[in-house]
Structure 1
Amino acid sequence: MSSDGESTVAVKLFIDKEKKMVLFAESDQDFVDVLFSFLTLPLGTIVRRLGKQSQVGCLDELYKSVENLGDDHFQTKPCKTMLLSPRNAAAGHLRRLKVQVDDIDQSQFYACSRHMGYFSSVPDVSCPFCFAMDKTIRDYNNPIEIFAKMRTKFIITDDLQVAPSSTGLMFSLMDKLELQEQENIEEVVLQLDSNKTISLIARALLSKQPLTGLYFDVAITPDAGTNVFQLPENLLVEQADEAEPMFKAIKMRLIQTNDDTLVLYAEVGHDFVELLFGLLCIPLGSIIKAYGEWSPNGCIDNLYKSVNEEGCAKQECRSLLLSPKLPPFFGCNSNVLQVEELPPRRVAGYNHEMNPKNPFKGSTCRAYIKEGSTNFMVTDDLRVTNFSLANSLKAIRAAKIPKEKLVEKECTLDKTQVLKLLRAAMLTHGALSSVLLPK
């Protein structure tokens, strides 16, 4: 328990005093459950909890774009809420965590007091009969068991590899770390509250030593070795199946330099914006499943791999962590990452879960963004605004590129390019240039 009464999780750290680094940690099930829960978090939740300063690719700019875009561009007002505060499909499991990462009450739902049976997970959704959801209800189902196996202790390395604790493993780690003098090892107990846990997520996404960074309060910066403006060659997406009937090619107009060094911005339609914004609802584990790994930086991948290690996660929870689903109605029109969506639920005696995107069309409406002739402007770092001559001139002036060095090109994105762009959105600060320009 912290000084302000907040629940905490205790972790014993083994520290090299001379090198100022965490060698490994030992904990019980509670800390490992918190670590594994990271895989269920939607990207939008991570960005919001990190104060839109996650430093993860273009995600901060995407999130701020949703905030700043006018409500009239969305199907309904709740669409914006869904993207900014996405629900977690694993909420029933997370309720038993000792430390809560998400500050949204996932047990709260909204219902109509006049027409029984209609409810929504998102506020401000209209009842199909009286246009109001004016009652708050709770999901009183018993919390579901969480992820880690019931073991006495686990060992966690600095880069978040999790394994059941044993003397043999400890000796193996000491040999690997070349620890000759055991008297240099100091044991400390760290109490993790929600703020420290959120900081640990940020470090796990960007650093190979998140525990060291957390304990010694090292500044969070992406580990060296990756150009944040270019998609790494070894993480380029394999050729996608372009014959998939549900996928529709995306057309856009690029404003770029004539020497193919920079895309200033793209003029796009609603379909491309829908694709980008939908990324905020995707759980972290689903991203790793879709692309095989998270990033050359960070060590979230090690948590994902640890789920399959013998003795770590319960068998019945593995798919929940390795293939996290979306809550009902949180998918988007372009499901190129093929993340499954849960069917509508029943909550506290209410049987009809409303679609926040369009309560009057049921589950047939999947889009967040209205269709229409409105064009949008998307900059290289995926900041989305209305397209206008004023915004166009502003972007050109900010780039300080002479007009004679800019050209306009039309392009059509196939499924492979779309997958690369979504990948680049999480890895670079120049997503359009890294994917759409020649190497």
Structure 2
Amino acid sequence: MSSNGGPTVAVKLFVDKEKKRVLFAESDKDFVDVLFSFLTLPLGTIVRLFNKQSQIGCLDELYRSVESLGEDHFQTTACKAMLLRPVNAAALHCDRLKVKVDDADLTAIYVCLQSGCSCCSPRYFSPVRGVTCSCGATMNGTRRWPQSSLVAAQETADGIFCKGGSKFIITDDLHVAPSTTSLMFSLMDKLGLHEELDIKEEVLHLNSNKIISLLRRALLSKHPLTGLYFDVAITRDGASSYQLPHNLFAPQAIEAELKFKPITIKLVQTKDNSSVLYAEVKQDLVDLFFGLLCIPVGSILKTYTQLSPDGCLDNLYKSVNGAGCVKQDCRNLLLSPKLAPFFGCSSNVLQVEELPRRCHNSPSYHYEMNPKSPKRGDEDSYRAYVNGGSINFIVTDDLCIVNFSLAKSLQAIRAAKIPKGKLVEKELTLDKTQVSARQEKYIFFSPFSVLYVLNGCFFWQQVLKLLRAVMITRNALSSVLLPPI
């Protein structure tokens, strides 16, 4: 137990006091299970855990945008709650961790408690609080998944995700492998342990607060164990100007053919292509951006090989494939984590599968409802979080999203302090089909002196680049939609 009464996991650190670094750590399955659970966390959960100060690209601003938008911009009231507190599809596994990373109630479901509710036959339930029942009441009655539906704790030495029966070695940058003599020899060579060193062994007992601190360091540092032990301040430099790498995707990420509808964007930018002030877009692109908050870390790593360029969660992902680490039935759960039912967005560009709709074995309520559907009977047709129609949105370069109005447009232009003569509007289309020739024309437009219209299409890979930019830079639109410098 920790000093605050919460549960802890133990990890033994091997520390070079002179150089102030953690050489490596040794632990049993309990700590390694917690580490691997990082891969199941939705991005929105990470932003919430760090109180919108995750420092991961534009995700904090994107999360604030969901908070600030009125509920009338979403399909249902529940859509906003889904984005702010996305459900972890591996919740039944993570609920059994010795120390939980997420403080959410992972096994709760919500039902209608209205007496005489005859609208729902069979009765509905949802993992999202506040869904509106067909009878008009709010589904706030709390129930739990029955014990028979939970992942049963077997009487074996195995952990929740990892194999048991042996100790594990964890490097400072979170490579995980079973403890063996050959691994120790390799570490000795890599870390220069042949010379006489004053190596101190110290056992830490980490509670949930310390684990969350470790997660943050793993997102933003290559040496999270050293940072945790020596309480090194977390700094993040260059995030606003980070350039997208040339090899952006994992090989498998660009092989599949997508059913992808073209997205039209109007950019207000400088004539010299130095910066984007904002984009005027419709529901489709906003839904794509908001849907990122529900994507698990492991699915991001599957597509892009990295989450944050300064972090080291990719080493955890690689360790899942390591010999002897993860149980066979949990490998896919970590390498290709799924979304909870109905948590996908309208355009599944990242190709993350959803779990099938679940059934509860209670005779009173057993049919999981779609929280995005404003009415029963047509639930499967509702995929989007955001209302469609003629509503336009303003998306700034750092992903602050508001509903469009002339006042907000003028406010953004004035805030940039750029003369109107140096601004143009460009229209472009994101599509999976490439057009080699681009037609350009000039027409009069107010309040700008010139409207510059670019009619052309990009590979759908441009959309993947745009989503990637959201996670690694605070100039997401400029880094992808402007010509490279």
Q: Shift of the alpha carbon at 1:122?
A: 0.7
- Write the distance in 2 (CA, Å) between the matches of 1:134 and 1:149: 38
Match of 1:428 in 2: 473
Determine which structure has more spread, i.e. the larger CA radius of gyration: 2
SS in 2 for 1:100: coil
On the 8 A contact 2:250/2:302 being kept in 1, the answer is: no
1:372-387 to structure 2, matched below 5 A, reads: 372-387=389-404
1:260-409 to structure 2, matched below 5 A, reads: 260-349=273-362, 350-358=365-373, 359-360=375-376, 361-409=378-426
Match of 2:21 in 1: 21
- Write the distance in 2 (CA, Å) between the matches of 1:186 and 1:431: 44
Match of 2:85 in 1: 85
Match of 1:140 in 2: 146
- Write the distance in 1 (CA, Å) between the matches of 2:72 and 2:196: 64
- Letter matched to residue 81 of structure 1: A
Structure 2, unaligned stretches of length 5 or more?
154-159, 432-459
- Write the distance in 1 (CA, Å) between the matches of 2:236 and 2:72: 37
On the 8 A contact 1:138/1:348 being kept in 2, the answer is: no
Aligned in 2, Cα 1:418/1:377: closer, same or farther, shift over 3 Å? same
Match of 1:197 in 2: 211
- Write the distance in 1 (CA, Å) between the matches of 2:275 and 2:82: 33
Q: Shift of the alpha carbon at 1:183?
A: 4.2
- Write the distance in 1 (CA, Å) between the matches of 2:236 and 2:249: 19
Aligned in 2, Cα 1:11/1:243: closer, same or farther, shift over 3 Å? closer
- Letter matched to residue 432 of structure 1: L
- Letter matched to residue 204 of structure 2: L
Please list the CA deviations of residues 352-380 of structure 1 after superposition, one character each: whole Å capped at 9, or x if unmatched. 11110114222221110001111110011
Q: Shift of the alpha carbon at 1:112?
A: 2.2
Match of 1:64 in 2: 64
- Write the distance in 2 (CA, Å) between the matches of 1:260 and 1:242: 32
More deviation in 23-32 or 398-407?
398-407
Aligned in 2, Cα 1:428/1:98: closer, same or farther, shift over 3 Å? same
Match of 1:170 in 2: 184
- Letter matched to residue 124 of structure 2: Y
- Write the distance in 2 (CA, Å) between the matches of 1:67 and 1:207: 28
Aligned in 2, Cα 1:223/1:317: closer, same or farther, shift over 3 Å? farther
Aligned in 2, Cα 1:318/1:174: closer, same or farther, shift over 3 Å? same
SS in 1 for 2:11: strand
Please list the CA deviations of residues 252-289 of structure 1 after superposition, one character each: whole Å capped at 9, or x if unmatched. 11011111111111011011100000000000001111
SS in 1 for 2:247: helix
SS in 2 for 1:79: helix
- Write the distance in 1 (CA, Å) between the matches of 2:165 and 2:417: 60
Aligned in 2, Cα 1:423/1:16: closer, same or farther, shift over 3 Å? same
More deviation in 66-75 or 161-170?
161-170
Please list the CA deviations of residues 81-138 of structure 1 after superposition, one character each: whole Å capped at 9, or x if unmatched. 0000000110111111011111110111111234563111111112224544242111
Q: Shift of the alpha carbon at 1:216?
A: 1.2
Match of 1:234 in 2: 247
- Write the distance in 2 (CA, Å) between the matches of 1:186 and 1:209: 18
> RCO (CA 8 Å, sep 6+): is it higher in 1 or 2?
1
- Write the distance in 2 (CA, Å) between the matches of 1:242 and 1:79: 29
Q: Shift of the alpha carbon at 1:312?
A: 0.3
- Write the distance in 2 (CA, Å) between the matches of 1:208 and 1:242: 32
Match of 1:413 in 2: 430
* 1:210 and 2:224 are equivalent in the alignment: yes
- Letter matched to residue 465 of structure 2: K
* 1:155 and 2:161 are equivalent in the alignment: no
Q: Shift of the alpha carbon at 1:166?
A: 2.0
Aligned in 2, Cα 1:4/1:237: closer, same or farther, shift over 3 Å? closer
- Write the distance in 1 (CA, Å) between the matches of 2:20 and 2:140: 55
On the 8 A contact 2:240/2:474 being kept in 1, the answer is: no
Q: Give the fraction of aligned pairs with identical amino acids, expressed as a percent.
A: 65
TM-score w.r.t. the length of structure 2 is 0.86
Q: Shift of the alpha carbon at 1:3?
A: 1.0
Structure 1, unaligned stretches of length 5 or more?
none
Aligned in 2, Cα 1:215/1:123: closer, same or farther, shift over 3 Å? same
- Write the distance in 2 (CA, Å) between the matches of 1:183 and 1:416: 50
- Write the distance in 2 (CA, Å) between the matches of 1:188 and 1:388: 59
Please list the CA deviations of residues 284-341 of structure 1 after superposition, one character each: whole Å capped at 9, or x if unmatched. 0011112233343211111001011111000010000000001111111110101000
Aligned in 2, Cα 1:118/1:259: closer, same or farther, shift over 3 Å? same
SS in 2 for 1:233: coil
- Write the distance in 2 (CA, Å) between the matches of 1:134 and 1:206: 37
Aligned in 2, Cα 1:421/1:152: closer, same or farther, shift over 3 Å? same
On the 8 A contact 1:237/1:419 being kept in 2, the answer is: no
**How many residue pairs get matched?**
437
Match of 1:32 in 2: 32
- Write the distance in 1 (CA, Å) between the matches of 2:273 and 2:140: 54
Aligned in 2, Cα 1:98/1:182: closer, same or farther, shift over 3 Å? farther
Aligned in 2, Cα 1:31/1:285: closer, same or farther, shift over 3 Å? same
- Letter matched to residue 235 of structure 1: L
Match of 1:121 in 2: 127
SS in 1 for 2:44: helix
1:242-253 to structure 2, matched below 5 A, reads: 244=258, 246-253=259-266
More deviation in 153-162 or 204-213?
204-213
- Write the distance in 1 (CA, Å) between the matches of 2:402 and 2:136: 34
On the 8 A contact 1:205/1:298 being kept in 2, the answer is: yes
